[in-house]
Structure 1
Amino acid sequence: MENHTSILINELKKLLSGGGAHVGLTEALANLNLEQISQKPQNLPYSIWQLAEHIRIAQWDMLEFSKDGNHQSPKWPDEYWPIETAPENEEAWNKTISGIEKDLLEFIELIETENLYNEIPHGQGQTLLREALQIADHNAYHIAEIVVIRRLIGAWKS
């Protein structure tokens, strides 16, 4: 059984890090300037900045929920989405990206050291495995939206 768990953890790490069957977040956000990340194409509700910040907030929330019984989630949906279409400056943009990366590394460390299958004591049946799959699924969904916006604004490689 232990070997199966280590195989699963390795696959989860690959899934969480992106790539494989789809573009990862690093590639989706590469080589963008503030003007590009702040554009909200016609009939789309979010800019790349808003999507990236939403990914950061939601992933942070799932990480904190997974490790802290006292964690209070942001109010849904208002506190999961920034109102502004653009970050204040390049430093704020870089802080979003580094926050996503830092929290993802911390979550990966959590799945490497804790039991994937035990219910989270303060949850309602959630496990680390479920949270890992939810982070991967949620991030992949919004990364695809980022790629679509990049295509619409002419900032994608193909």
Structure 2
Amino acid sequence: MDPLVKELKKLLAGGGAHVGLREATANIPFAALGEKPHDLPYSIWQLLEHIRIAQWDMLEFSKDAHHKSPEWPDGYWPKEAAPPDEKSWDKTLMQYEGDLKSFIELIQTRDLYEPIPHGTGQTLLRETLQIADHTAYHVAEIVVIRRLLGIWK
């Protein structure tokens, strides 16, 4: 395997310098998912949904010339502070994982440096780094919220 692809896969899985999304979202009491401590503008649920939507958008953009991105910013954030039920939380986690797996398959089969034909100069390498950077940023916010709620290790 290409050493760069190997490192990108590691980065997408959460890297080595911080916790990944799986660890940050493990064992959160359902009642805490919609909490916004200290008047923060978002909850853990909203952050997870935002991460999922943004990753899905970058995946679809990377492979489909006909993909239409959601309206910014409203289309990237859920309005509800909490998921309607535990099944919705689990579904979002599964969709995130499935899209991440699809994106990893994409970077293993395509040229990372070739501009995406329907883009404006973006490459698969850029999209990969953007997904990893964006996810890491919001995972850190999830950890902070968990600390503020007293539900982080």
The alignment's TM-score, normalised by the length of structure 2, stands at 0.98
Aligned to 1:45: 41
CA distance in 2, matches of 1:28, 1:71: 30
Aligned twin of 1:144: 140
Give the 4+ runs in structure 1 shifted more than 6 A: none
Residue in 2 that maps onto 1:36? 32
> What's the CA shift for 1:12?
0.2
The CA RMSD over aligned residues, in Å, is 0.8
1:61 aligns to what? 57
Q: What's the offset of the Cα at 1:19? A: 3.9
Provide the C-alpha distance between the structure 2 equivalents of 1:154 and 1:19, rounded to a whole number of angstroms. 25
Residue 76 of structure 1 corresponds to which residue in structure 2?
72
CA distance in 2, matches of 1:19, 1:62: 19
- Partner SS for 2:65: coil
Which position in structure 2 is the counterpart of 1:14? 10
1:63-104 residue CA offsets vs partner (Å, 9 max, x unmatched): 000000000000000010001000010010001100100000
Which position in structure 2 is the counterpart of 1:94? 90
2:127 pairs with 1:127: no
d(CA) in 2 for partners of 1:155, 1:45: 19
The alpha carbon displacement at 1:42 in A equals 1.9
90, 105, 108: which one aligns with 2:104: 108
1:43 to partner: Cα distance = 2.4
2: CA distance, partners of 1:41 / 1:72: 34
**How many Å separate the matches in 2 of 1:56 and 1:29?**
13
Structure 2 CA distance for aligned equivalents of residues 16 and 122 of structure 1: 24
Size of the aligned set, in residue pairs, is 153
Measured at CA, do residues 133 and 26 of structure 1 come closer, stay the same or move farther in structure 2, by a change above 3 Å?
same
**Percent identity of paired positions between Structure 1 and Structure 2:** 68
Identify unmatched segments of 5+ residues in structure 2.
Answer: none
